[in-house]
Amino acid sequence: MLDFRFLSPTEIIFGKGTETAAGEECKKYGKKVLFHYGGQSIKKSGLYDAIVASLKAAGLDFVELGGVQPNPRLRLVREGIRLCREEGVDFILAVGGGSVIDSAKAIALGVPYGGDVWDFYIGQAQPGQALPTGAVLTLPATGSEASRASVITDQDSGLKRSVNFEPSRPRFAIMNPELTFTLPPFQTACGVADIMSHAMERYFTAVPHVELTDRLCEAVLKTVINNAPMVLSEPENYDARAEIMWAGTLAHNDLLTTGRVSDFASHMIEHELSAFNDVAHGAGLAIVFPAWMRYVYKHDVARFVRFAAEVWNVEPSYFLPERTALEGIKRLRAFFRSLGLPVSLAEIGVYPEHFEALAKNTRRFKGGKVGNFVKLDTDDIIEILRLAQ
Ligand code: NZQ
Ligand code: ZN
- Ligand 1 pocket, residue 133 CB under 6 Å: no
Our mutation pick for probing the ligand 1 site, out of 281, 285, 289, 362, counting the most ligand atoms within 8 A of Cβ, is 281
* The pLDDT of residue 91 is above 80: yes
Per-residue pLDDT band for 367 (boundaries 50, 70, 90) equals low
Q: Average pLDDT for residues 290-313, to the nearest whole number?
A: 98
- Ligand 1 pocket, residue 80 CB under 6 Å: no
* The pLDDT of residue 308 is above 80: yes
Mean pLDDT of the chain: 97
What is the pTM assigned to this prediction? Answer: 0.98
**Which atom of ligand 1 is closest in space to residue 187's alpha carbon?**
20
Share of the chain above pLDDT 70, in %: 99
Per-residue pLDDT band for 365 (boundaries 50, 70, 90) equals low
- Ligand 1 pocket, residue 267 CB under 6 Å: yes
Q: Which residues of 307-334 are buried (b: 16+ CB within 10 A; e: fewer)?
A: bbbbbbebebeeeeeeebbbbbbbbbbe
* The pLDDT of residue 60 is above 90: yes
Q: Average pLDDT for residues 346-350, to the nearest whole number?
A: 97
pLDDT digits (tens, 9 = 90+) for 210-268: 999 999 999 999 999 999 999 999 999 999 999 999 999 999 999 999 999 999 999 99
Query: What is the Cα–Cα distance from 145 to 136, expressed in whole angstroms?
Result: 8
In the chain, % helix, strand, coil (3-state, to 5) comes to 55, 10, 35
Q: Average pLDDT for residues 354-380, to the nearest whole number?
A: 90
- Ligand number, closest to the Cα atom of 184: 1
Query: What is the Cα–Cα distance from 134 to 147, expressed in whole angstroms?
Result: 12
Per-residue pLDDT band for 363 (boundaries 50, 70, 90) equals confident
